[in-house]
Amino acid sequence: MPKTTKKPIISTKDVHKKYHLGRNNFVHALRGVDLEINEGEFVALMGPSGSGKSTLLHVLGCLDGVDSGTVNINGYNVTNMSGSRLTKIRATQLGFVFQGFNLVPILTALENVILAVEYAGKVGRREKVKLSREALERVGLADRARHRPSELSGGEQQRVAIARSLVNNPRIILADEPTGNLDSKTSDEIISMMRELNKTTGQTFIIVTHDTDVGKRCDRIIHIKDGMVI
C-alpha cells in the first residue's frame, strides 16, 4: 500500500496574503508561510481563531491567490496560473470538505456527488453514475444514495461531502474543520474514515481543526499563529 514518500506534494515559500478593506485598510492574514507537505501525509493544521488557517487552506486549494511568495501543488506552480488552468487543477487534483458540509439541498446524495464529476470534465452519464455510486460505497453510504441532505444525519452528510471530495480521485484532500459540527463519536468515525482512505489510496490529507483529539490522530500537526507557521 502507498506510504508517505519524502516527495513534497505541497510546498509554499514566503507566502503573504492581505485582505483589503477599503483604500488604506487591510488584514495581513498570511505573513510569510513556508510549508512542505509530503505525498501521503495526514496532517492537522491547528491554531487560534483568526490565525489564518482557512486562508491558508484556500490558498493551497487554489480557491484564492496570494500577494507574494510561491505555491506549488503536485508539481504545478499555481502562483500565477490563469483562471481556467486553476479551475482544472482544482477539479482534478484537489478535493474539499467543509465544516458545514456544503451539499446542494435539493439534490440527492448521489446527485451531489455526480455534480463534482461533471465539474471535472466530460464523462458519459453511465460512467458518472458508476463513479459516484462507488464513491458513496467507499464512505459506507450506498444505501442512502437517494436521500436528500435533510434526510441524512450530520455525520452522513459529511460522508456524502467526503464522497464528493474523492470521486475524481484527487491526490490532495483539504478539510476545513470537517468535524466542527459533529459530536465526538461521529467526529471520531469521520476521522477514522479519512485515515482509512489515506492508508488505502495514499491521498494526502490536510485537516484544519480546533480539536486536539483530531490533532492526535494525525501524522503531524502544523501550528499556525498570526499568519505564520510556528
Ligand X SMILES: Nc1ncnc2c1ncn2[C@@H]1O[C@H](COP(=O)(O)OP(=O)(O)OP(=O)(O)O)[C@@H](O)[C@H]1O
CA 16 to each of CA 29, 30, 110, 153: distance values in angstroms, whole numbers, following the listed order: 8, 5, 39, 39
Name the residue nearer to ligand X (CB basis): 51 or 93: 51
Let me know: does 45 contact 211? Beta carbons within 8 Å: no
The residue among 40 and 52 lying less far from ligand X, judged by its C-beta, is 52
Give the whole-angstrom CA distance, residue 12 versus residue 40.
Answer: 17
Binding partner of 52, given ligand X, Mg ion, none, CB within 5-8 angstroms per partner class: ligand X
First CA to last CA distance, the chain: 32
| Residue 54 interacts with ligand X (CB under 6 A): yes or no | yes
Among 39, 41, 46, 55, indicate the residue that binds ligand X (CB under 6 A): 55
Cell of 158: 459529511
Q: Does 178 bind ligand X (CB under 6 A)?
A: no
The footprint of ligand X on residues 21-50 (CB under 6 A) is: 21, 27, 29, 47, 49-50
- Which of 51, 79, 132, 203 binds ligand X (CB under 6 A)? It is 51
Helical (H) or strand (E) element with 216 = helix 212-216
Is residue 90 near ligand X by the rule CB under 6 A?
no
CA dihedral sign of residues 180, 181, 187, 189: negative
Question: DSSP code of 51?
Answer: S
Nearer to ligand X, 17 or 128 (CB): 17
The correct pick among 15, 41, 52, 66 for binding ligand X (CB under 6 A) is 52
Least distance between Mg ion and beta carbon 60 (Å): 13
Per CB under 6 A, 99 contacts ligand X: no
Among 19, 75, 106, 153, binds ligand X (CB under 6 A): 19
Burial of 74-101, coded b for 16+ CB within 10 Å and e otherwise, reads: beeebbebeeeebeebbbbbbbbbbbeb
Q: What does 29 bind: ligand X, Mg ion, none (CB cut-off 5 to 8 Å by kind)? A: ligand X
Residues that bind ligand X (CB under 6 A): 19, 21, 27, 29, 47, 49-55
